[in-house]
Structures are given as C-alpha cells and as structure tokens.
Structure 1
Amino acid sequence: MSYSSEDETDISDSELDEYVDRCYEQLKDGIHKVKFSDEVYRCPYCPGKKKLVYLFKDLLQHASDVGKGSQNRDIKHKGKHLGLVRFMKNDLEQDISSEFSGLNIENSQQNGVSELFVWPWMGILANVDVESCSKLKNNLAKRGLDPVRIRPLSSGRYAVVEFKKEWSGFYNAMMFEKDFEVDNHGKKDYHAAPHLADKLYGWVARDDDYNLEGVLGDYLRKNGDLKTLGDLEAEEKRKNGLLIANLNQTIEELRMRLDELESNQCEPRAAIIQNDVVH
C-alpha cells in the first residue's frame, strides 16, 4: 500500500487518526527514509531545521514533542510526527548509543544554497606534529569518532582525517568539528590566530578548503568531490532504485528459468506415459 507523499487538502481533528495511519504506511513503504545507519537518523518532515541528524532516542523525542505539541500547530505536521513515533516504536530497533546525545548538527545554508562538503567526509587538522599522527588517530577513536586514517601532508602544517563514506561517517566528522569548536580550536579560531603553532585546530573540509591553492587544496581535490547532503541523498535513492530494479529482473529471470526446467522435466514424463498407453 502506498500514498502520495504530499496531501493538498487540510484535515480536521476528527481525521487525524486516519492521517496518522497513512503517514505510518508511507514510512513502512520506504517513501521517506529515517534510518541512515546504526547511529544516524533523520526527520523526513523537518529537512530545513537546525537539527540535521539525531540519535534514535533524540529523534523519537523530537517526533513525540511535535506530535503532542500545541493545538496551534498544523494538524498535518502533528500527524506526520505521530506516524513517525509509531514507525520508530514498531518497526525500527532502538540505537542505545548516546555518547554524543544533545549535540546539534546545523543544516548550514549559504544564500539559500545547501552547503558543500568534501566527500568522502574529511576533517582537517592544523598545526600538526607529523610524528604524533598515529597517537592522534587513537585519541579520536577513543572519543568515539572512528577515523579511518589520518594522512599528514607534505607541508608539515596540515593533516587530513578520513571518515567512513556512510552517514555514520558524516555524523562522526561533524562531532569531530564540534569537539574542536567547544575548546575554541575550530576553523574560525585558527584563522583568527594562526600564529599559535603549538595549538591543534580541527574542522570539517568544505568548498573553501577544497578550492585553496597549495598542498591542502591539492589533496582534497585529488581525493574528494564537493557534494551537498541533498546530492548524496538523491544518489542513494537512485542506487536503491537501480538495486530494486536489478533484483526484480533477477527474480523474473530466475522464475522463467525454473518454469523452463519444470517444462523440460515434464516432457519426458509425458512421453513415457504416452508410450505406456500405446503399448
């Protein structure tokens, strides 16, 4: 069962329960994606809000708050979130990880255009001691940021932290950035006082880093591309669509092959029966 993702008409309070059922069915049918990894969840109904990704329990709390919110809220908006609550409780397994609970990841936009990130997700470390890179990787791992590797650049000033390509990698990259910002060692702090060479700074690689001249920009351009979150979601949907199409084709080919085998098995048996009748 599926429904249109957008309803044109308003609904009344008396129709809310039915609307919640419809939204729940949409989520079950996969029309809206909620779970992007074991750690990363998103609200399909609030794409432009400040909170971009959630842990399971945080998204459940968000959906519950909106669904039970003020009567002045749009009834459809409440209904969608109540459907999300039901879907999460009935159809998704809870992620109990809470190490970074409560931290917001902002959906940054510049002049209405979604922000461009370097993908695969990369973090930048400035004022790096090359000899300490392996120790840095272990420290980041202990903080739950799960870096794939740290690559010191030939200039001796920067190193690039590589994260997993999945949405969990994006989550960890943003937490990496927040970790440095909390200590006033983020990107803005670095550019305000780059002479503090004994201090380590870190941030997530974006388009301005990608377009830099020099070793850092060269490395990012050679090993990554610029993508918005919307680009990646659209690409993921396209790949999922192709996967389903290929799977359906494989199933159909298998069904035809089985029919052919069954037909071939029946032909000798029919011939034997016919010979028995003749004799």
Structure 2
Amino acid sequence: MSYSSEDETDISESELEEYVDRCYEQLKDGTQKVKLSDDVYRCPYCPGKKKIVYPFKDIFQHATDVGKGSQNRDIKHKGKHLSLVRYIKNDLDKEDLSSKLTGLALEVSQGSDVNELFVWPWMGILANVDVENIGRLKNDLTKRGIDLVRVRQLYSGGYAVVEFKKDWSGFHRALMFEKEFEVDNHGKKDYYAASRLADGLYGWFARGDDYYSKGVLGEYLQKNGDLKTIGELETEEKRKTRLLIADLSNTIEQLRMRLDKLESNYREPPTVIHVGSQKDETN
C-alpha cells in the first residue's frame, strides 16, 4: 500500500474532523480496501503489523479502540481509524452488518454472563452531566461516533439517559458506548470508585444494579424500561419471527384462494340462453 506525502505532514486537533472526512471518502471510493471476503476484513492503516486481517468483530473493535483511545498521540492515525469506524457503520452491506452485529452481541454476552440483566430498550447512563451543556449533549456524543436515538436529562443527580435502537445493532452500539468511556477511565467503576470526580462525562450500559438503584436514576429506568437477559430476547425474537411467518403464510393462502376464485369466475363460460327458431308454416 502506498502513502502520499500528506501522510508525512502532521495535523492539529482542530483539523481532525476534516481529515476524517477525507479518509472516509477514500474508503468509500475504494482507494483503501477493507473487506476482503464475507468473513475477513483488513485494516488499511496498520501496515507492518503481524495481525492485519480480522474477522468482523475484531476489525470494528480495533478501529474503535485506536480511534477513541486517549493514549493515542498520533492524530492522523486516530483520524484514519475514526474514518474506518464511520465506514463500517455506514457503508458495509447493511444485511451483512446486521447479522454480524447480532453474532457479536450474543458472543459478548456469552463471554461474560448469559444471565446478566440489561435494561431494555437499551439505555446508556451518563453521569457528571453539566446541566448548562445538556442542549448540545446529543450533538457532542454523535461527533464522538456514538450512534444513539436520543438523550434524556434527569431532573436531578447530574444524570442523563442515552437511548439506543431496540434491535441487536442497538445492543452493540450500547456496548461500544460503554467501551468508549472505559478506555478514557470514565466508566462505571471509575465513577463509583473516585473520591473526587474528574472533569467530563462518565458513561456505561444500564444494567440490573442501575435499574434497582435508589433515587432518580432507578426510578427513571423502572418507569421506562424492563430487565432482560440476552437469552430471553433471543427466544422472544424467534417467537415473533415464527408468528410473523405464520401470519404471512395465512395471508398468502387467503390471497391465493381469492385469486383462484377470481380465475374460476373468469374462465367459467357465460350461461347461453337458446331461443328455438320458428319454422315457417306452409299452407
């Protein structure tokens, strides 16, 4: 892979967003190739590494970690990986992405505790929220690459709740949201362990202990969500799919019967009334 002289020129933090846009366009037009096959992806920005080929879950994790890691001092390297995150989210085949995100969600859950309770619809928790900045909070999170539906501020306690899509892609986004804050040492453990909170937001994926917590946070989660395990949701999804297929089959059968009836009426010959001819009488 070749690099232009531009790669030798440093950029400032203020130029990062524009640089991400340029790299993103290169990914879109195929200048940088990511997908090698249905199961194998590569990072075009890490030549020389022993592991440059990844399955889907790893390429997305790799791009997210490098793009969001606070320890990354190379701004251009960070920008390239942020563009890769955007490309994976926006431009890979949607059906392919959805199925792989589903597999990743289940794998992550099974890797920890299959009975772990999550708040559903999927929600993330923001703590140490500055009330004066709540109006632009969603904008700021979106710029950081967090794919969300909406942000709701709680009336006290310095909390806000981030809502994600209800499907498996939303589950994955919520996990990435949590990872984003953990790598910056602003995750759930950091929030509760700190004797004095650092500046900035803390965030994590809402779980059972948050749901049952006392105060405004627990009240909001209990009022607006339920607790589900991944196994329960998978079973429910399969049940809904079976019902949908049965309903569609029934509808198709009814339409087929109506069509048969219409065709039968169309093909049935009309009733012919024979009028006998009268012979002329001869005298």
Unaligned runs of 5+ in 1: 1-54, 67-91, 98-103
> 1:223, CA displacement in angstroms?
0.5
Equivalent-residue separation in structure 1 for 2:93 and 2:112 (angstroms): 38
Equivalent-residue separation in structure 1 for 2:118 and 2:209 (angstroms): 9
Give the corresponding residue for 1:160: 161
Equivalent-residue separation in structure 2 for 1:246 and 1:95 (angstroms): 23
SS in 2 for 1:275: coil
Structure 1 residues 261 and 107: alpha-carbon distance in aligned structure 2, compared to 1, 3 A threshold: same
Corresponding letter in the other structure for 2:115: S
Equivalent-residue separation in structure 1 for 2:275 and 2:134 (angstroms): 85
For the 8 Å contact 1:57–1:95, the answer to whether it is kept is no
> 1:238, CA displacement in angstroms?
1.1
Runs of 4+ in 1 over 4 A off after TM superposition: 55-59, 92-97, 108-113, 276-279
> 1:197, CA displacement in angstroms?
6.2
Structure 1 residues 192 and 154: alpha-carbon distance in aligned structure 2, compared to 1, 3 A threshold: same
Structure 1 residues 109 and 208: alpha-carbon distance in aligned structure 2, compared to 1, 3 A threshold: farther
Q: Deviations over 1:19-58 (max 9, x none)?
A: xxxxxxxxxxxxxxxxxxxxxxxxxxxxxxxxxxxx9879
Counting only pairs closer than 5 Å after superposition, residues 127-206 of structure 1 correspond to structure 2 as 127-193=128-194, 195-196=196-197, 198-206=199-207
Counting only pairs closer than 5 Å after superposition, residues 17-166 of structure 1 correspond to structure 2 as 60-61=39-40, 93=93, 107-108=108-109, 113-166=114-167
> 1:261, CA displacement in angstroms?
1.8
Structure of larger gyration radius? 2
Equivalent-residue separation in structure 1 for 2:157 and 2:234 (angstroms): 35
Equivalent-residue separation in structure 2 for 1:184 and 1:230 (angstroms): 30
Unaligned runs of 5+ in 2: 1-33, 42-52, 56-91, 98-103, 278-283
Give the corresponding residue for 1:220: 221
Judge which range, 105-114 or 135-144, deviates more.
Answer: 105-114
Equivalent-residue separation in structure 1 for 2:228 and 2:35 (angstroms): 26
Corresponding letter in the other structure for 1:275: I
For the 8 Å contact 2:152–2:160, the answer to whether it is kept is yes
Q: Identity, % of aligned pairs?
A: 63
Corresponding letter in the other structure for 2:211: Y
- TM-score normalised by L of structure 1: 0.59
Q: CA RMSD in A?
A: 3.4
> 1:59, CA displacement in angstroms?
7.7
